[in-house]
Amino acid sequence: MKRLFIDTNIVIDLLSRREPFYTEAAILFSLADQNIFELNISSLTVANTNFTLLQQISSQKAKEILRKLSLIVKILPLDDKIVGLALNDNSFSDFEDGLQYFTAIENGQDLIITRNLKDFKASNLPVMTARQFLETLK
């Protein structure tokens, strides 16, 4: 089964219903729920998403949403090796993008799904938007 690493912006698009990106994210997560492919996120994404949700809703509601999310995705660990790789790599100008990338690499992901393709120019993995990936399924 194809393992897709989902960047934080896609998760927030879904959970915050951010238009015009919500529909693509919803389709992606719906297909994963049907076991068409596996969706994976970093533990950093959970923290970043919680922070964003707290700007809109209560802590209790945010945790409820994140619990439901954890039923659909696999949450990948962020450890000292990944932090070290991101700290010592100059390919990513944004440290958070480096953490995401090396989480994907260290956990054998097949593809990165993000809205910010330019942030992953240095990626050795294929990188697509949700829309681009969904087009490959047609």
Query: Could you give the CA distance from residue 15 to residue 22 in angstroms, rounded to a whole number?
Result: 8
Q: Report domain extents, the chain.
A: 3-136
**pTM (two decimals):** 0.95
In order along its 138 residues, the chain shows pLDDT tens digits of 899 999 999 999 999 999 999 999 999 999 999 999 999 999 999 999 999 999 999 999 999 999 999 999 999 999 999 999 999 998 998 999 999 999 999 999 999 999 999 999 999 999 999 999 999 998
Whole-number Cα distances in Å, 9 to 25, 80, 88, 94, 117: 10, 24, 24, 14, 11
The enclosing H or E element of 42 equals strand 38-42
For the domain made up of 3-136, the CATH class stated in words is alpha beta
The CB density around residue 66, as the number of other CB atoms within 10 Å, is: 17
Half-sphere exposure of 89 (CA within 13 A, CB side): 21
Give φ, ψ of 21 to 5 degrees.
-100, -10
Distances (CA, A) of 92 to 1, 71, 102: 28, 31, 11
